[in-house]
Every structure is written in C-alpha cells, then in structure tokens.
Amino acid sequence: MYIIGLTGGTGSGKTTVSNYLRKKGFEIIDFDLTTRELEEPGEPALKEIVETFGPEALLPDGTMNRKYVGRIVFSDPEEKKKLDRIIQKYVDVLITARTDRFREAGKNVTRQTNPDDYLQKKVIFYDHPLLFEVPYNIEPANEAWVVDVDDETRIRRIMDRDCLLRDDIIKRINSQSSRQYKLDRADYVIDNSGTKEQLFRNVDAQIEALDRRLP
C-alpha cells in the first residue's frame, strides 16, 4: 500500500482534484467528510464542541452550527487549535480503520494480477486540508501532493463559489498556513492556475509519473 497526502489551501481546487481521482477509481479518505460524520447529532465529538464553544454551536435540528463555529475559529488561532484537538482524537480511529481495510483488500494485488487497476488497488489518497499542520496519530503519507494557485485567484474563486465577502475570505485564508508553507513541504505540486481541463491534464501527468516510480 502507498499513501499520498493531497492538500491545498481553501480555494486551491483540492476538492476538484480529489473528485477527479475518485472518478478514476482511486480510494479517497476525505478528512473533511470524516470530520462531518463526527459532527452529527449524538456524536461525542459534537458534544465536546458544544461544551467548548457554547450552545450556539448547535442548530435546532441537533447538528453543528458550522457558520457560528467557523466565525470563531477562523478569527482566533487559539480557538482553532481547540477545535482541531477535539476532532483529531476521534478522526484518528476512523482513518486508521479505513486505511487498514484498504491494505487488507489489496495485500495480494500485483501488477500481474491487476495490470489495469494496479495503482487503484495499491494507492490510497488522504484528502487532508491540514496534512502538514495537524499531527494526527495515523500512518503517515509516503508523499505529499499540493494543489496550488495564487492567493488572488483563490479569493476570486471562493467569492464566486460561496458568495462570501472578500474580507471574510481573507480572514479564512490568513487563519491557515501560507501558500509558501505548503509548497515548501510538497513532494509534488499540481498547478491549478488554468482551466479545469488543464488541471485534469496536470493530475494525469502526476499519476503517470507515480506509475513509473512505484515498484
């Protein structure tokens, strides 16, 4: 089994890349989706979040008030650390279990037995916005792919996608690690400064290169 960490700042196009990889048959462990599972009614993680951020963190239907919590954590790094610590301990268990299942399913797969989908059976992606920032207690990725685009383009795309104010977007970006921080830690960079079709060609090129360097 080979683990690739896929990351990028908000608005970089990481989710678009993740969805494309999934359509090509790759197993994706999405940390954001896993986190949302923990924020459903009755989950112990949600109970801790409400205890930490107050009753306003809970919507009338019993789900997490993501906008309220988001305003808090994206405005104060210390508050964001509190949320990250709560989520981390619950996510670790789920991610480890899913990774182990993938390993078990592909343990007898070789290029001879699966010439057409060898990579899909042996390579798993961690779709993880905090790949470099949060020390999850899970099996580390073998390499990191960073989806990259300049900050101004990110801002424009988020404005079009989420209808947020520019100042709110800048706060969110500033609450995260910088673009350069991620680039400095990347093993491979996927450029997303062009069209979606160009992005997909860049992903395909990375997959082809991965196929050549894996045993």
What's the CA gap between 162 and 60, in Å, rounded? Answer: 23
What pLDDT, in 10s, does the model give residues 31-52?
Answer: 988 988 888 888 899 999 999 9
Q: What average pLDDT does range 82-90 have in this prediction?
A: 87
Q: Residue 74 — pLDDT band, cuts 50, 70, 90?
A: confident
Residue 6 makes CB contacts below 8 A (sequence gap 6+) with 14, 17, 18, 21, 125, 126, 127, 128, 131, 144, 145, 147
Q: What is the CA radius of gyration of the chain?
A: 18
Q: State residue 2 phi and psi, 5-degree precision.
A: -130, 130
pTM score over 0.85: no
Residue among 140, 35, 16 nearest 90 (CA):
35
Structure tokens at 174: 């500033």
**Residues β-bridged to residue 6:** 127, 145
